Amino acid sequence: MPSVKIGAVTVGQAPRVDVTADILPLLPGVELLERGGLDGLTREDIAAFQPEEGDYVLVSRLTDGSSVTFAEKYVLPRLQNAITELEDAGCRLILFFCTGDFPDTFQSRVPLLFPGRVLKGMAPAISSRKTAIVNPSPLQKDQSLEKWKLYLQEPVSFAVSPYEGEAGVRQCARQVAETDCDMVILDCIGYTQKMKEIFQEETGKRVILPRTLLARVAMELL
């Protein structure tokens, strides 16, 4: 039986081997094709995409394993190109490897699955008090709280990069453990299964990991 082709779009550079290490075991019989909004660009090119006041901020990974911070507006046309390429390659579903908010302007002949939208539908059903929202950068604090206060009773923002090792993640988890939050949302596709386990170990709270949630929802649509 031939495998099913699905696509994945990262706002950074593809392939996202850090993400697929956790999700491919959850996608049996699937051929995953990847494209990125920063594909083909050098770090010098990306430096021109630095966010200014009022910009929507994204953080993502490059193929060399490092991370970059940039304004969403610069990659939107490139993300559309990635979608079109994946459609033309025969993908029947396209996953977004980013939990950020995106405008409803992308054109696609196949379903686009945004983990951020899945999270916003799921989280209010299982959190009744304060919720810890963990983002990669302090620059995302205001936009994160602005988003989540529409869906959660009392979101509390924390920041730790998933791209700089597990020591910082454990330190952040210990900070969350000192709060009375009843759930943790790791609000970036870059957080790993191991990082989820660190938060569970340190906090004893429910922890939602977007990358594995995304894969499980995708399987329902195939």
pLDDT digits (tens, 9 = 90+) for 36-79: 999 999 999 999 999 999 999 999 999 999 999 999 999 999 99
Beta partners for residue 10, in sequence order: 36, 97
Task: Check residue 82 and give its pLDDT.
Answer: 98
Is residue 129 pLDDT above 90, yes or no?
no
Structure tokens at 67: 């991370």
pLDDT band of 160, cuts 50, 70, 90: very high
Domain CATH number, residue 169:
3.40.50.1860
- Select from 186, 192, 206 the least CA-distant residue to 125: 206
Cβ contacts of residue 197 below 8 Å, gap of 6+? none
| 42 and 104 share one domain | yes
Domain of residue 73: give its range: 4-115+212-220
Domain count, the chain: 2
DSSP assigned state of 41: -
pTM of the model: 0.93
- DSSP calls for 97-145: E--S---TT---SS-EE-HHHHHHHHHHHH--SEEEEEES-GGGHHHHH
pLDDT band of 2, cuts 50, 70, 90: low
Q: What would the mean pLDDT of 80-105 be, rounded to a whole number?
A: 96
Structure tokens at 146: 């602005």
| 43 and 131 share one domain | no
| 125 and 108 share one domain | no
